[in-house]
Structure 1
Amino acid sequence: MKIGYVRVSTQEQNTIRQEVMLRELGVDKIFIDKASGKNADRPELKRMMNYVRKGDTVIVESISRFARNTRDLLELVEQLTAKEVEFVSKKEAIDTTTPTGKFMLTVFAAVAELEREYILQRQREGIVIAKQQGKYRGRPAKEYPDFDRIAARWRRGEISAVQAMQQLGMSKTRFYERVKRISR
């Protein structure tokens, strides 16, 4: 059975391009994660790893969609190999059924990890420069126009903290931080 794995970093990103490519390759089942690839703790990846059986082939669009660092990539491929499952990365033309494919997998994984580190380094350097120039102030604070009114109802005991958070669409941490800030 051909199993496809798709990953994008955020809920807002689109998976269609990867899904179309996998369908064109004749995959039978696709697992989709909308989560950072910084580690292998992703729900659909775990489901896929439990789902695959001897003789299956896992196909991904590129290594970076499967894992972001060499260690995670090699551990995941090792788990697949132990189950006698093949791994194919379309972009890098890697097929782990061959010794050359296994070697190339290791090389490409290291290069992908290095590039990711370069991107993060350039991003940090850019933010420092932008801050020095007064152009970067971070993400603007989210507005909660009804906060004072709803927080007052909570303080008077008319509603619970959970109800206040739900009405405002705030997390527990953000709610209590804001309450503390206003109480000062």
Structure 2
Amino acid sequence: MSKIGYIRVSTVDQNTDRQEIALSELGIQKIFSEKISGKSANRPQLKSMMEYIRDGDILYIESISRLARSTRDLLSIVQQLKDKKVDLVSLEENIDTATPQGRFVLTLFGALSELERESTLKRQREGIAAEHLKGKKFGRPMVERPKDRYKVIKL
């Protein structure tokens, strides 16, 4: 079992001192640190950390916002950690997925994310239906094709 840390700030102008201090007293064996926006899907240190961690490891973060920028992103990362049998500890939110309470909180996040997604899709369908009633057409326009494009040849 190893204690792994992940630290992220959004820009190169920011420093990681606050997060480093928060993790320093925990006996972390390896820290992955990067200065890149959380919106970026291309986070090299996050990818390296996900490849590095093993069954039984514990990932420590200072705050959930440092690991993920959206609930969907967070739940995806947490699922990958779960698949690898790695627990997650977030110091700021006091979440530890090794505990029933920590798993419960993440389950709530998952339910809220699903509700948000379903609500968005419902509003989208309602908006499309309203536009159809006004006569708006969606999709690519129809293209006229010559009728003799495909000829049947009798043998």
Q: Normalising by the residue count of structure 1, what TM-score does the alignment of the two structures yield?
A: 0.57
Cα RMSD, aligned residues only = 2.0
Q: Does 1:64 align with 2:65?
A: yes
Taking structure 1 as reference, are residues 39 and 69 closer, same or farther at Cα in structure 2, changes over 3 Å only?
Answer: farther
Higher relative contact order (CA 8 A, sep 6+): 2
Pairing of 1:34-183 with structure 2 (within 5 A): 34-107=35-108
1:100 is displaced (CA, Å) by 2.1
Q: Normalising by the residue count of structure 2, what TM-score does the alignment of the two structures yield?
A: 0.67
1:17 is displaced (CA, Å) by 1.1
* Structure 1 unaligned spans of 5+: 115-184
Secondary structure, counterpart of 1:4 in structure 2: strand
CA distance in 1, matches of 2:104, 2:38: 22
Q: Does 1:26 align with 2:27?
A: yes
The structure that is helix-richer by fraction is: 1
Tell me what 2:15 maps to.
Answer: 14
**Residue pair 1:6, 1:61 contacting (<8 A) in 2 also:** yes
Taking structure 1 as reference, are residues 27 and 40 closer, same or farther at Cα in structure 2, changes over 3 Å only?
Answer: farther
Secondary structure, counterpart of 2:22 in structure 1: helix
* Structure 2 unaligned spans of 5+: 117-155
**Between Structure 1 and Structure 2, whose CA radius of gyration is higher?**
2
**Residue pair 1:22, 1:60 contacting (<8 A) in 2 also:** yes
1:106 is displaced (CA, Å) by 4.7
CA distance in 1, matches of 2:108, 2:28: 26
Give aligned pairs, total.
Answer: 112
Identity of aligned residues (%): 59
The list of structure 1 runs, each at least 4 consecutive aligned residues, that deviate by more than 6 angstroms after superposition, is none
